[in-house]
């Protein structure tokens, strides 16, 4: 079990080591605007002066999310290649190369944000990230983990039921085709780890936080989780 986990973690590390863009379903200006609009809404009612972005990637969303306005921004990603792209675009940004599920500093942040990263974390990494994020959160701070693949939508995704746009899994598949796709996903994962709302609620409660959820319109098989302290 432990060696399977290590192999899976290594798989994602190696996958991202060579990437130079975030591999969103559509990487056009319109698609980025649409996604960023949805993500901005998650923290619009919140003060976001000091921002920590986990899995910040190549910076494609940096100014679209308004993070260029933050008084303090720190981006963390384990892919040097992705951070090189970010630095080329925004040379004065503070970026660190680190495994996000282990990253911790003594600084405090109003917003600890990640988008489309949680799918690369197994349960242990998700729990550890939340431990660290809770410790780095300012008293009224907000943790946003956006774009978490929703396990209840897994079959619909695999069958291509969510098509209609071009963001979600291509053509509708026959049942054998859907099963073949599910098996492929287990052997050579494309999406990664899928989560459900009750387990995220429990993870939050165990750390003295409450979790709220929003569905994703951009990717209908994903949800966003927002965490705040209850005490």
Positions that interact with ligand SAM (CB under 6 A): 12, 16, 22-23, 55-57, 60-61, 77-79, 82, 99-101, 115-117, 120
CB 153 within 8 A of CB 176: no
Q: Which is nearer to ligand SAM, 101 or 168 (CB)?
A: 101
User: Would you list the DSSP string of 71-136?
Assistant: SEEEEEES-HHHHHHHHHH-TT-EEEE--TTT---S--EEEEEEES-GGG--HHHHHHHHHHHHHH
Cα–Cα distance, 193 to 118 (Å, whole number): 8
Minimum distance from residue 227 beta carbon to ligand SAM (Å): 17
Q: Which is nearer to ligand SAM, 23 or 174 (CB)?
A: 23
Q: Which is nearer to ligand SAM, 16 or 43 (CB)?
A: 16
Minimum distance from residue 114 beta carbon to ligand SAM (Å): 6
Q: Which is nearer to ligand SAM, 57 or 158 (CB)?
A: 57
Minimum distance from residue 146 beta carbon to ligand SAM (Å): 8
User: Would you list the DSSP string of 159-172?
Assistant: HTTT-SSSSSSSSP
Minimum distance from residue 32 beta carbon to ligand SAM (Å): 8
């Amino acid at each position: 079990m432990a060696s399977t986990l290590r192999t899976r973690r290594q798989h994602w590390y190696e996958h991202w080591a060579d990437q130079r863009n975030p591999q969103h379903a559509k990487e056009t200006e319109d698609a980025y605007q649409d996604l960023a609009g949805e993500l901005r809404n998650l923290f619009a009612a919140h003060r976001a002066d000091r921002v920590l972005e986990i899995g910040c990637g190549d910076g494609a969303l940096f100014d679209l999310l308004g993070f260029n306005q933050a008084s303090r921004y720190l981006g963390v990603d384990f892919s040097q290649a992705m951070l090189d792209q970010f630095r080329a675009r925004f040379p004065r940004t503070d970026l660190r190369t680190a495994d996000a599920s282990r990253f911790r500093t003594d600084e405090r942040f109003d917003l600890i944000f990640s988008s489309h990263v949680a799918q690369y974390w197994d349960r242990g990494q998700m729990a550890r990230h939340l431990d660290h994020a809770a410790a780095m959160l300012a008293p009224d701070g907000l943790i946003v983990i956006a774009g978490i693949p929703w396990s209840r939508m897994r079959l619909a995704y695999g069958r291509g039921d969510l098509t209609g746009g071009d963001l979600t899994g291509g053509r509708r598949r026959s049942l054998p085709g859907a099963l073949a796709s599910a098996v492929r996903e287990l052997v050579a994962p494309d999406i990664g780890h899928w989560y459900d709302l009750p387990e995220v609620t429990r993870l939050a409660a165990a750390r003295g936080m409450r979790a709220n959820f929003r569905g994703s319109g951009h990717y209908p098989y994903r949800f966003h989780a927002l965490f705040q302290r209850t005490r």
